[in-house]
Amino acid sequence: MTSDSSHSTAIKDRLSQKLLEAKSLGYKVAQQTGDLTILRDLNFQIQRGETLALLGPSGAGKSTLLALLAGLDTPTEGELLWSGQNFSSLGEDERAAVRAREVGFIFQSFQLLPELTALENVLLPLELRGDKDAEEQALLWLEKVGLSPRASHHPSQLSGGEQQRVAIARAFATRPAVLFADEPTGNLDAENGHKIADLLFSLNQDQGSSDQQMTLILVTHDQQLASRCQRILRLDAGQLFADEQTGAAQ
């Protein structure tokens, strides 16, 4: 593909709201006993504004796929196009720049910085972006997740559910176009898990109504959580064996 044609594809993709496209995507890890294939020949597209779940059992390759989709790593085979642009052709810092502009994260193990308070954790990405009203925004998001009274608490003083709510506030605070959530309820009990899922989807909906629709890409092994997304990609042993629309409302 020439640079001209790739440029025109990018424009077309943006117009058609195509966010991601995987073409024969594969990922292998070199080992002493030979190559270990984690992902094999994946082909799919993700539209902007979709809510999508990557569903599969442990070891299916979900987290690796999430890392590739977010540009945290590059595929060893095939291509991954982000808004029509090949991710593999970008350097690590260029991919980081894409993340800084468009991506938010929620992790299974929360990944809050232990030495920072709840407020400071939410502040961090806003400050990195150089937002002038960072503190007001962070407080607003803490309020939205119901934790403003605990703004000055450190993660070790919060329960698991509360820590994940802080992480959600941090992820939403920068109003990312795409939100990746890696097993967001995986470390929580059922009740807390439900609450977190409700919060995640309701905030996602709020965002949708107030701004351009946010894309949510969720990694989970929980069928119930996955079914709250509009679409499910089922993975097993590194292969995609189902691409289903759930009919869930957005």
Q: Which H or E run includes 67?
A: helix 62-69
59 three-class SS: coil
By CB under 8 A, the residues from 177 to 236 that bind another protein are: 182
Name which position in 61, 84, 125, 193 contacts another protein (CB under 8 A): 125
Q: Which range touches another protein (CB under 8 A), out of 29-37, 44-52, 90-98, 192-200?
A: 90-98
Closer residue to another protein in complex, CB, 200/219:
219
Pairing of strands 34-47, 18-31: antiparallel
Within 10 A of 150 (CB to CB), how many other CB atoms are there? 17
* For the chain, the helix, strand and coil percentages under 3-state DSSP, each to the nearest 5: 40, 30, 30
Q: Does 140 bind another protein (CB under 8 A)?
A: no
- Kindly write out the interface string for residues 156-175 of this chain, putting x where it contacts another protein by CB under 8 A and - elsewhere: x---x---------------
- Kindly write out the interface string for residues 33-72 of this chain, putting x where it contacts another protein by CB under 8 A and - elsewhere: ------------------------------x--xx--x-x
Q: Does 113 bind another protein (CB under 8 A)?
A: yes
Within 10 A of 6 (CB to CB), how many other CB atoms are there? 14
Q: How many residues bind another protein (CB under 8 A)?
A: 33
Q: Does 103 bind another protein (CB under 8 A)?
A: yes
Q: Does 109 bind another protein (CB under 8 A)?
A: yes
Helices 160-173/118-129 angle, 10° precision: 20
Q: Which range touches another protein (CB under 8 A), out of 12-20, 31-39, 100-108, 142-150?
A: 100-108
From start to end of the chain, where are the E strands? 18-31, 34-47, 51-55, 77-82, 85-86, 103-106, 178-182, 215-220, 231-236, 239-245
Q: Does 90 bind another protein (CB under 8 A)?
A: no
Name which position in 10, 100, 139, 140 contacts another protein (CB under 8 A): 100
- C-alpha closest to that of 217 among 207, 205, 229, 225: 229
| 241 φ/ψ angles, rounded to the nearest 5 degrees | -115, 0
Which residues would be at the binding site for another protein (CB under 8 A)? 63, 66-67, 70, 72-73, 92-93, 96-101, 103, 105, 107, 109, 111, 113-116, 120, 124-125, 127-128, 130, 154, 156, 160, 182
